[in-house]
Chain A
């Protein structure tokens, strides 16, 4: 059994997400601000967190800038951005339609990249080269991250990953992997809530798992483990060198920390990502996860 390499802080509480209760997420958000969030992250890192996984939500730009300026991040602390911020684009789509949303997106990207797209007219060039647009968008989002040198991996949001799986859009997956590796020299990763299908798809398409991150739910009650807990556990043995990071280990706060930790301890995982909402919460969670890490390391050394 490999030791946990990645014990990551998740950003759900910081951006108003709770998989248990929307009302609770709003209450948590009310007592947080960027300064307090930085303290929570600091408490997490001093208790064993090795990185921060976050969506490119506007709040996170502020958090990252603050982390950078306050020198709160250790040398070996890594960032794992998840792209795109899907909920934001769904809202823009409701407001402005698909073309309006793409127009907004184009207005955000740099003038140079925009000029490339405008050569043959915006609509035509997007339609002819949607993968090209995706690359430009990813580059734009990554280039805005203030502490880019600390990026350990870049992950594709679950909505895009899971749509790509269903539509068998190999080109989206491949182009994402190549872009993150070649242009940004970071580890490409995928968030998915369909882990077994993800593994099957990579097998069928003969896509290599090596040096990939997969972030997906693993928890004692099988919450969001699709199509089943058993199937996801079985798929863990088929991912070769991919680093599987468990998310939703607390099933959105439904399970207690000990139940969560005991379940993931024997699994073939590279680590876990857990959202925390206060300094005390961060201390409890990451101390407990570090304990599992130590138990796993001992077994590995035997």
Chain B
């Protein structure tokens, strides 16, 4: 039985805790949460048979854990990684996305775990969705030939007035750190490293952070792309991602719920092929929210069992922070 610790019992902590508890051979056995009110509530309705701590060091000293999920606000990620790594060198860590609040912190997180045993993974769950996995396979198989350019967006209606949580505070918030990391991770996964960036950011409702960003990207491969992200678009019940890719042998549209492939040099007599979630086997052992959360947690546990590295490792995740910082830096001075 794998013993798992959970640091931060917010929305994502509760979600991962539920999945882990529902999977075979693993169990949440300790929780580190500083907010007494949340601990008292959790003891009554969620986890009454686990040990609670207010410090990671004391949790690590008192519990023989195999892995820890870090699901706190972003700025706490790095100090917690450092604290846990000091206490136990072979611990496996799962950190919610993004890895850190800046490229510097993400680099320090990578350095902290560089010589440690264990699996170090970041929660970019979109890569575990059958839709995005299929899109990646089609791109790699050159189903649309060589990608020439793309148009991508990530929109939500999450913030339609000034927010009050850490997501709206300078240093820990903004659409680029909150909503955009998934899209940025997918773009980097699909297309590789970025050579140059030019960008604009705008605040629409927030005083301290950006609510909108537009970035023009040139990749090492020569591919170019446009990316828009905004968490203040009306009419989106859920956050949505869309990536239109134009290649020299066809076009492809990738969204959260489908891949539409238009192969060939001409569209004449060509029906587009559409792959929905339903096209793929959708069964997982336990389902809460989207199935990719279960898939990513299973991948994390499987990597621990096999001693293998996940696709969404710390070093892959650090690339996302690096690109976010480049976008912010290029955009500084814009409205």
Decide yes or no whether A204 CB sits under 8 A from chain B: no
Q: Which of A123, A162, A223 contacts B37 (CB 8 A)?
A: A123
Interface string of A49-91 (1 = CB under 8 A from B): 0000000000000000000000000000000000000010011
Whether the Cβ atoms of B163 and A96 lie closer than 8 Å is yes
Point out the residue from B37, B46, B256, B257 that lies within 8 Å of A169, measured CB to CB. Answer: B46
Question: Does chain B have a CB within 8 A of A292?
Answer: no
Instruction: Find out whether the CB atom of B257 lies under 8 angstroms from the CB atom of A21.
Output: yes
Q: Hey, which chain B residues are within 8 Å of A108, CB to CB?
A: none
Q: Do the beta carbons of A87 and B18 come within 8 Å of each other?
A: no
A193 to B289, CA, bound (A): 10
Cα of A114 to Cα of B21 in the assembled complex, Å: 34
B285–A20 touching, CB < 8 Å:
no
The A-contacting residues of B in range 125-147, CB under 8 angstroms, are: none
Query: Are A16 and B237 touching (Cβ within 8 A)?
Result: yes
Q: What is the distance, in angstroms, from A200's C-beta to the closest C-beta of chain B?
A: 11
Q: How far is the CB of B255 from chain A (nearest CB, A)?
A: 7
Residues in A whose Cβ lies below 8 Å from that of B157: 91
Is B237 a contact of A20 with CB atoms below 8 Å?
A: no
Q: Is the CB of B163 within 8 A of A98?
A: no
Tell me the B2-54 residues at the A interface (CB within 8 Å): 10-11, 14, 17-19, 21-22, 36-38, 40-41, 44-47
Chain B: CB-nearest residue to A248: B278
**B257 partner, pick from A20, A126, A194, beta carbons under 8 A:** A20
Q: Is the CB of B44 within 8 A of A167?
A: no
- Interface residue A242 (Cβ < 8 Å from any Cβ of B): no
Is the beta-carbon distance between B288 and A166 smaller than 8 angstroms?
Answer: yes
Q: Which of A1-9, A127-135, A139-147 contacts B (4 or more CB under 8 A)?
A: A127-135
Task: State whether the Cβ of A32 lies closer than 8 Å to any Cβ in chain B.
Answer: no
B242 (CB) vs chain A CBs: closest residue:
A23
In the assembled complex, the CB of B288 is this many whole angstroms from the nearest CB of chain A, namely 5
Question: In this complex, what residue of B is CB-closest to A89?
Answer: B11
Task: Give Cα distance in the complex from A94 to B177, angstroms.
Answer: 13
Chain A residue at smallest Cβ distance from B157: A91
- Please give, as numbers and ranges, the residues of chain A lying within 8 Å of B194 by CB-CB distance: none
The contact size tier of chain B is 35 or more
CA distance A252 to B282 in the complex (A): 13
Specify which of A25, A127, A129, A163 is in contact with B14 (CB 8 Å cutoff).
A163
Interfacial residues of chain A within 219-252, with CB under 8 A of chain B in the complex: 221-229, 251-252
User: Which of A127, A131, A159, A222 has the most chain B CB within a 10 Å cutoff?
Assistant: A127
Instruction: Kindly state whether residue A136 has any CB partner on chain B within 8 Å.
Output: no
Q: In chain B, what residue has the closest Cβ to A26?
A: B235
A165 surroundings in chain B (CB, below 8 A): 22
- B18 contacts A226, CB within 8 Å? no
Name the segment of B90-98, B111-119, B164-172, B261-269 touching the other chain: B164-172
Given the known inter-chain contacts A166-B19, A251-B278, please indicate yes or no for A194 contacting B287, CB distance below 8 A: yes
**Shortest beta-carbon distance from B326 to chain A in Å:** 25
Q: When the two chains form their complex, are residues B163 and A223 in contact, meaning their CB atoms are under 8 A apart?
A: no
Residue of A nearest to B179 (CB): A94
The answer to whether B289 and A95 have CB atoms under 8 Å apart is no
CB of B283 within 8 A of CB of A22, answer no
> Which partner residue on chain A sits nearest B36 by CB separation?
A127
A256 and B238 alpha carbons, distance in the complex (Å)? 26
Q: How far is the CA of A10 from the CA of B22 in the complex (A)?
A: 29
Point out the residues of chain B lying under 8 angstroms from A97, CB to CB.
164-166
Known: A94-B158, A163-B288, A166-B288. A131 touches B37 (CB 8 A): no
- A164's nearest neighbour on chain B, judged by CB, is B45
Chain A residue nearest to B158 in the complex (CB): A94
Point out the residues of chain B lying under 8 angstroms from A267, CB to CB.
none
* Residues of chain A from 82 to 119 with CB closer than 8 A to chain B in the complex: 87, 90-91, 93-100
**Residue A181 CB within 8 A of the other chain:** no
Contact mask A11-28 → B, CB, 8 Å, 1/0? Answer: 000011101111101100
Q: How far is the CB of B34 from chain A (nearest CB, A)?
A: 13
B301 to chain A, nearest CB (A): 15
Name which residue of chain A comes closest to B44, CB basis: A130
- Residues of chain B contacted by A23 (CB below 8 angstroms): 255
In whole Å, how far is B54's beta carbon from the nearest beta carbon of chain A?
15
A130–B40 Cα distance when bound, in Å, is 9
B284: Cβ under 8 A from any A Cβ: yes
Closest approach, in angstroms, between the C-beta of B201 and any C-beta of chain A? 19
* A100 x B237 contact (CB < 8 A): no
B240 at the interface (CB under 8 A from A): yes
Q: How far is the CA of A254 from the CA of B276 in the complex (A)?
A: 8
- Report the Cα distance A270→B189, complex, angstroms: 46
Q: Which of A17, A130, A131, A227 contacts B283 (CB 8 A)?
A: A227
- Complex Cα spacing A223 to B40, Å: 37
A93-B165, A165-B22, A224-B282 known; 11 new pairs, CB 8 Å cut-off, are A22-B240, A23-B255, A90-B11, A99-B37, A100-B165, A162-B288, A166-B288, A222-B283, A223-B277, A223-B282, A227-B283
A-B contact pairs, 21 of them (CB 8 A): A20-B257, A26-B235, A93-B165, A94-B158, A95-B159, A95-B163, A96-B165, A97-B165, A130-B44, A166-B19, A166-B21, A166-B22, A166-B288, A171-B44, A193-B287, A194-B286, A194-B287, A197-B22, A223-B282, A224-B287, A226-B287
